[in-house]
Amino acid sequence: MNAEDIASRIEALRREIEHHTYQYYALDAPEISDAAFDSLMRELREMEAEHPELVVPTSPTQRVGGYVGEQFASVVHEQRMYSLDNAMDFAELDEWIAGAQKVLGHFPELCLELKIDGSSIALTYAKGELVRAATRGDGATGEDVTLNMRTVSDVPLRLRQDAQGGLAASVDSIELRGEVYMPKKSFDALNRAAERAGKQQFANPRNAAAGSVRQKDPMVTASRNLSTFIYAIADQRALKVRSQWELLEWLRRAGLHVNPDVTRAKTLEEVHEFCSRQLERRQDLPYEIDGVVVKVNSFTEQSVLGFTSRAPKWAIAFKFPPEEKTTRMHDITVQVGRTGVLTPVAELDPVVVAGSTVSRATLHNAEEVHRKDVRIGDTVIVRKAGDVIPEVLGPVLSLRPDNALVWQPPMTCPSCGSPVVTEPGEVALRCVSIDCPAQAFERLRHWASRQAMDIDGAGNEIIRRLVEIGRLNDVADYYSLTEDELACLATNRSDGEGEPVRLGRIIAAKLMAAIETSKTRSFARVLNGLGMRHVGKNTAEALAHAYPSMEALMNATEEQLACVDGVGDIVAHSIATFLRTSDNVAVIERLQDAGVTMAATQEDLGDDVPQTLAGLTFVLTGTLAESGLSRDRASERLSAMGAKVTNSVSKKTSYVVAGEAAGSKYDKAVKLGVPVLDEAQLLRILESGQPPVME
Ligand code: AMP
């Protein structure tokens, strides 16, 4: 083959593969077998390997690549990404339609679509090629997730040629919008794998989709089997189409994945009928929906109706009521929380509710169990709405068996056997023993959890084993673990000869690295992680803002604490009691010695960081091995306090920070007489926000 033949064969293969990808993912109508498809891909890969100069970013072989790094770049949306107003029932929906009818002077033609329960996404195509993908963020600014969205199979890397005809003249860049979602099947598989690995599971497919789109490594996103449904364009003027219906047709022609379940309606009855039908078939769909979106079809009429600051006035989401299922409650067990609260938990025969399998649901407290009159053996109604944890609504009395058992609250803690108390003014039963292993386990788990210190790999099973062997008693113990002891840790699984399987080097090393990284988490996360009663994420953030160091927080009086946003007398009392208890102070001191963040970081203070280092120029060289702080992170924190961080040493440099294996920059600093700081001094600057005091 001559060069021209090779290039045209490669292009023909790409077109063919794109066509079959579209047939398979967007239309669900494959025309060739998987084996034949794989063979086309193989040929393309081989040809590209021989002719690397012909590889282009839009080639189907180039979906996965690159690395996002520590942070996503922000993307300012040229047109705001709106939310939707909701109608919770037909009465509210009818009222909204009547409002639109009044403004327009007639019953508008409506376009009805499924409301996909995923995460909003904006895809920008320039000259037909995918150049950017961004999340909605706060509507005005989102995050650049291009590398990750490129791995989603039904997102075309270039638009089909058919699309060209629909573009308005002189338009060469368009932003398309829709939803990226995780099919129910992928979600179940992901959660099962997380469960096996002892990792936290996702609450629902929506969170799983959002989390998968925001991965640092596109390979991980690629493994999550995400899909999209595209239904909007940022600027309608870019296309020659005149209605939502025509837009969907054009999107389909352009090669995007468009949901097939759409209809147009001209009467209220048609609208109700479509909504009811979708509500009924909701369980049968392979992905989650949480309603129907009703849109005024004509673009001209849409512009007459306009927008509020939050949402279009020409569309509304008819929200489905939270899904309810019935199942048998075969037991009520008692869970001990990290603050010692005993919570009765309904043990259920597994049932799929709102996209995930539910086998346990909280019953809150003993009073609630009796108020709802749920008995062991009852068939109960279970509900799960969005993010909300599953809830038992009540029993189906007609199905109550004769031997249904009235539950009795425990007199002693099921974990440590100490007597149970009820504190004045509280309904909760509580175990007040400080040596209760269940409480310790929950505290340790909370510290490592995603909303606190986010120690990747510290799953339930590992934590439980470390508690069992007495190696983890409090959260500071994490920082004295060694790679050797973790590698030798026996798991609960055994090999063929009945010997326990050990954790092994690779997992141990990863976990050690994650523990190390956790030292640099924000101060708010540390405060949340400590698990003070009544202090969750929001309160921890408010505290970190008001008292930007542990020292300041410990010196605050109860009255002062009560003035912090969201902190009242009760919360202030609980914080003060916690911070004045000697055992807790000892743990905090050990955390501090281990190098865990004890003062507000840039993340804590947002834009309000005092510019105490303004006018100073820093150069960082060598690795910051002791603190595990990356150079990027260190320079980010210095810059946040107003310092300039540059790459080369000159007479104008105020300080050179030399980590391990510092090279020529160190030498140059010495030559020029620029003060050289070590890592410990850097950490002091970051903590205090003050320039170093030089002897
Ligand atoms: P909510 O997040 O509940 O306010 O609902 C608004 C969101 O629904 C939008 O931002 C979209 O991400 C999402 N959505 C899902 N399906 C559709 C659809 N067919 N049309 C418009 N928005 C949709």
- 3-state secondary structure string across 300-331: HHHHHHCECCCCECCEEEEECCCEEEEEEEEE
Pocket probe for ligand 1: among 79, 80, 82, 83, the residue whose CB has the most ligand atoms within 8 Å is: 83
> Which of 115, 199, 295, 519 is the catalytic position?
115
Question: Do the Cβ atoms of 597 and 521 come closer than 8 Å?
Answer: yes
Partner residues linked to 119 by β-bridges:
180
Ligand 1, atom nearest to 85 Cα: 4
At residue 244, φ and ψ (nearest 5 deg) are: -60, -40
Regarding the beta carbon of 317 and ligand 1, being less than 6 Å apart is answered yes
What's the gap in Å between 289 CA and the centre of ligand 1? 10
| Residue to mutate (ligand 1; options 179, 275, 310; most atoms within 8 A of CB) | 179
Return the pLDDT at 386.
56
Domains of the chain, earliest start first: 3-62 (1.10.287.610), 86-319 (3.30.470.30), 323-429 (2.40.50.140), 448-474+488-594 (1.10.150.20), 617-688 (3.40.50.10190)
For residue 159, what pLDDT is reported? 95
The reported pLDDT for the residue numbered 385 is 62
313 is catalytic: no
> What distance in angstroms lies between residue 82's CA and the mean position of ligand 1's atoms?
9
- Contacts of residue 1, defined as CB under 8 A and 6 or more positions apart, other chains included, come to 9
User: Do 408 and 375 contact (CB within 8 A), yes or no?
Assistant: no
A 10 A CB-CB count for 310 gives: 11
Question: What is the mean pLDDT of each successive set of 10 residues along the chain, which is 695 residues long?
Answer: 92 95 89 93 94 93 80 88 92 96 97 96 96 92 94 96 84 95 92 77 84 91 96 94 96 96 97 95 90 97 92 94 91 92 94 83 91 96 75 94 95 92 84 88 93 91 91 95 94 82 92 94 95 89 88 92 87 92 92 94 72 87 72 77 84 88 82 86 82 69
Report the C-alpha gap between 240 and 245 in whole angstroms.
Answer: 13
Q: Which of 191, 238, 297, 255 is nearest to 58 (CA)?
A: 255
Contact 190, 213 (CB under 8 A): no
247 close to ligand 1 (CB < 6 Angstrom): no
Q: What pLDDT sits at residue 70?
A: 67
Q: Is the CB of 473 under 6 A from ligand 1?
A: no
Give residue 558's pLDDT: 93
User: Tell me, what DSSP letter sits at residue 653?
Assistant: -
Say if ligand 1 is within 6 A of residue 174 CB: no
Task: Read off the DSSP letter of residue 436.
Answer: -
Identify the pLDDT of residue 627: 63
Atom 12 (ligand 1) nearest CA? 120
For residue 514, what is the enclosing H or E element? helix 505-518
With a CB cutoff of 8 Å and minimum separation 6, the contacts of 660 are: 622, 623, 624, 625
Task: Give the nearest ligand 1 atom to 119 CA.
Answer: 12
What is the CA(172)–ligand 1 centre distance, in A? 27
What is the CA(187)–ligand 1 centre distance, in A? 20
